[in-house]
Amino acid sequence: MFLPKTETAIPVFVPDPEASYQAYMMKQLPEGLWTTSICECYEDLSNCFFTCLCPCITMGQNSEIVNRGEISCRWASLLHVATGVVLFGWIFGSTNRTSLRQHFSLPESPLPDWSTHLLCMWCALCQEHRELRTRGADPSLGWEGNVSKWKEEAMTPPIVVPRMVP
């Protein structure tokens, strides 16, 4: 319907379609299930390539979010390198994966956390990165960056499982 030339159109607020889509997806996330399988690296090719070249940085980014900023990306990356990315890095990676699973009540699949990181650390890191992004956290922003983003969007942080305090 066209408005006559003498009348002016009233501006209508149209919500940001990307924000609406993200809000919709947050409601559609399967509870207790991974949103992507471990072999779906093609879902985020840039992260896949980056992780293949620098797994310690992806580990650090994921770790900072999973540990709620208690360990910085820099220190987590250095720890991953110091433990030997391929030799013993799987130990550090599996503890982060276990924490991530506990935060979102995800199953220990396709294998136990330690063997997933031992056999295919790169695929595990990519899957964890995708899971964090899908559930509302951007590992590349770091913990403080995500907290700021959540405050601006008036969104509850996606990691809601409280930690036990001794």
Q: What is the pLDDT of residue 5?
A: 47
Lowest mean pLDDT among 11-25, 31-45, 94-108: 11-25
The answer to whether 130 touches 40, Cβ cutoff 8 Å, is yes
Q: What is the pLDDT of residue 83?
A: 74
Q: What mean pLDDT is reported for the chain? A: 78
Q: What is the pLDDT of residue 162?
A: 52
Q: What is the pLDDT of residue 58?
A: 92
CA–CA gap between residue 131 and residue 44 (Å, rounded)? 11
The answer to whether 127 touches 37, Cβ cutoff 8 Å, is yes
CA–CA gap between residue 142 and residue 138 (Å, rounded)? 7
Q: What is the pLDDT of residue 6?
A: 47
Domains of the chain, by residue range, sit at 40-143
Per-residue pLDDT of 56-112, as tens digits, reads 899 999 999 999 888 888 888 888 787 776 677 788 889 999 999 998 889 998 889
Read off the pLDDT of each residue in 1-19 and give the average, rounded to a whole number. 42
- Assign 161 a pLDDT band (cuts: 50, 70, 90): low
CA–CA gap between residue 125 and residue 29 (Å, rounded)? 20
CA 128, 131, 136, 138 dihedral sign is positive
Q: Which residue has 């997933």 as its token pair?
A: 116
CA–CA gap between residue 104 and residue 64 (Å, rounded)? 16
Q: Residue 87, exposed/middle/buried by CB under 10 A (0-12, 13-18, 19+)?
A: exposed
CA–CA gap between residue 122 and residue 129 (Å, rounded)? 11
